[in-house]
């Protein structure tokens, strides 16, 4: 057969002389590779996807043809035919917050090594946006979906509940839809509050930014508050309206000192805020921790490089991503997961700032 291969003629050949539509695309196809290799298309497909299902000679000639023709597999077609895509949807609420980026990094290095690609979505802390992203991503027949957090809106929940692929919810710990890797933020808040009380502080303010969005920071406050309540202490909360940043931390410090002059210690929702406050305190000639003690959350490297070192809670973020990816891969390759829920824990890092 000639190599322009008009494939089969249409069933009823009564069509007149008018040549039917012919959408082309100069792209090299698997059929061309197969032809060059002297095998059938399906064998060529197997040679690439299930190398040990074909003879050595067949595999070799297919690979040679691939090389020679510069064949690039059309993954879209493959996915449609097999309804598997090797795409993993990853949905995070923010890219400014380096915490999520580190999780993504952990996910990516593990998933890419296994031949999965990441489809990235950013909700900007908007659950409706999350729903839209999920819808889109399901349309791509993703192999799995990773999302930050256990909270979703109604529509999103319904959609995901009826989806028959692995779902991994990361960051926090709790009763999720499927798989879950995270840490207990309430406990983390309690841990830090206890530390501050142990250190002798009694007037402690919690400072967070946009807690309605960053509800995990809110959970830490809940833990913090419960400890203080148990000690019979007030647990004032200062909520900033800006995003967490060094700048916001500096402003937080100012506001706390104005509103609660007797404050001995500030428990910040994260290290960006805390470090910003610490650096600002230094600029103002305040002594940390004598004049004011400062604590954060995350364990960012910056905290270890300021003087005094920042007291913080170290959360294993990249590890969280790696673990999540590993569990997903395990599930995707048909094995059972060890556990549906993983507590990655956290570590109190007491520095000189408290």
Tokens of 265: 């210690």
Q: List the interface residues with a copy of itself, window 93-152 (CB under 8 A).
A: 95-96, 98, 101, 104-105, 108-109, 112, 117-122, 135-141
Q: List the interface residues with a copy of itself, window 280-309 (CB under 8 A).
A: 280, 282-283, 301-302, 304-307
Q: List the interface residues with a copy of itself, window 220-249 (CB under 8 A).
A: 245-247
User: Measured between alpha carbons, how far is residue 323 from residues 104, 227, 327 in Å?
Assistant: 12, 31, 6
Candidates 35, 36, 58, 209: give the one binding DNA (CB under 7 A): 58
Please state, as a whole number, how many other Cβ atoms lie within 10 Å of the Cβ of residue 303: 25
CB 101 within 8 A of CB 131: no
Return the one option of a copy of itself, DNA, none that residue 63 interacts with (CB less than 5 to 8 A, by type): none
In the 8-state DSSP scheme, what is residue 3? T
Torsion of CA 110, 112, 116, 119, to 10 degrees: 100
- Pairing relationship of beta strands 144-148 and 167-172 according to DSSP bridges: parallel
Return the one option of DNA, a copy of itself, none that residue 117 interacts with (CB less than 5 to 8 A, by type): a copy of itself
Position 10 contacts DNA (CB under 7 A): yes
Candidates 83, 212, 333, 336: give the one binding a copy of itself (CB under 8 A): 83
Tokens of 192: 């830090």
Which residues does residue 98 pair with via DSSP β-bridges, in sequence order?
Answer: none
In angstroms, what is the minimal distance from the CB of 179 to a copy of itself?
Answer: 21
Candidates 69, 159, 314, 350: give the one binding a copy of itself (CB under 8 A): 159
In angstroms, what is the minimal distance from the CB of 336 to a copy of itself?
Answer: 24
- C-alpha neighbours within 13 Å on the C-beta side of residue 10: 9
Candidates 51, 57, 136, 259: give the one binding DNA (CB under 7 A): 57
Helix (H) or strand (E) holding 118: strand 117-122
CB 294 within 8 A of CB 288: yes
Tokens of 206: 């919690």
Rg (CA), the chain: 28
Contacts with a copy of itself by CB under 8 A lie at 11-12, 25, 70, 72-77, 79-80, 83, 85, 87, 95-96, 98, 101, 104-105, 108-109, 112, 117-122, 135-141, 159, 245-247, 250, 275-276, 279-280, 282-283, 301-302, 304-307
Contacts with DNA by CB under 7 A lie at 7, 10-11, 15, 18, 20-25, 27, 29-31, 39-43, 45-46, 48-49, 53-55, 57-58, 71, 73-74, 77-78, 80-84
């Amino acid at each position: 057969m000639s190599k322009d291969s008009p494939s089969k003629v249409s069933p009823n050949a009564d069509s007149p002389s008018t040549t039917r539509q012919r959408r082309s695309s100069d792209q090299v196809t698997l059929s061309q590779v197969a032809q060059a290799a002297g095998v059938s298309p399906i064998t060529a497909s197997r040679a690439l996807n299930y190398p040990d299902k074909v003879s050595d000679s067949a595999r070799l000639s297919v690979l040679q043809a691939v090389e020679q023709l510069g064949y690039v597999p059309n993954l879209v077609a493959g996915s449609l035919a097999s309804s598997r895509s090797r795409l993993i949807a990853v949905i995070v609420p923010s890219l400014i917050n380096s915490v999520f980026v580190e999780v993504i990094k952990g996910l990516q290095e593990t998933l890419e090594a296994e031949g999965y690609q990441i489809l990235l979505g950013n909700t900007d802390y908007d659950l409706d946006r999350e729903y839209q992203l999920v819808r889109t991503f399901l349309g791509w027949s993703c192999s799995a979906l990773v999302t930050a957090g256990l909270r979703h809106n109604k529509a999103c929940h319904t959609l995901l509940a009826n989806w028959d692929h692995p779902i991994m919810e990361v960051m926090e710990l709790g009763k999720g839809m499927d798989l879950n890797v995270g840490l207990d933020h309430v406990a983390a808040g309690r841990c830090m509050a206890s530390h501050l009380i142990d250190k002798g502080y009694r007037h402690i303010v919690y400072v967070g930014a946009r807690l309605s969005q960053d509800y995990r920071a809110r959970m830490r406050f809940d833990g913090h508050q419960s400890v203080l309540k148990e000690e019979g202490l007030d647990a004032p909360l200062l909520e900033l309206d800006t995003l967490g940043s060094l700048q916001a931390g500096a402003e937080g410090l100012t506001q706390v000192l104005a509103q609660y002059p007797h404050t001995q210690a500030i428990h910040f929702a994260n290290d960006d805020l805390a470090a910003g406050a610490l650096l600002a305190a230094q600029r103002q000639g305040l002594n940390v921790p004598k004049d004011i003690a400062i604590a954060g959350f995350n364990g960012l490297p910056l905290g270890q490089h300021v003087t005094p070192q920042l007291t913080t809670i170290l959360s294993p973020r990249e590890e969280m991503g790696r673990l999540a990816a590993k569990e997903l891969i395990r599930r995707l390759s048909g094995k059972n997961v060890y556990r549906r829920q993983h507590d990655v824990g956290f570590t109190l890092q007491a520095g000189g700032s408290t």
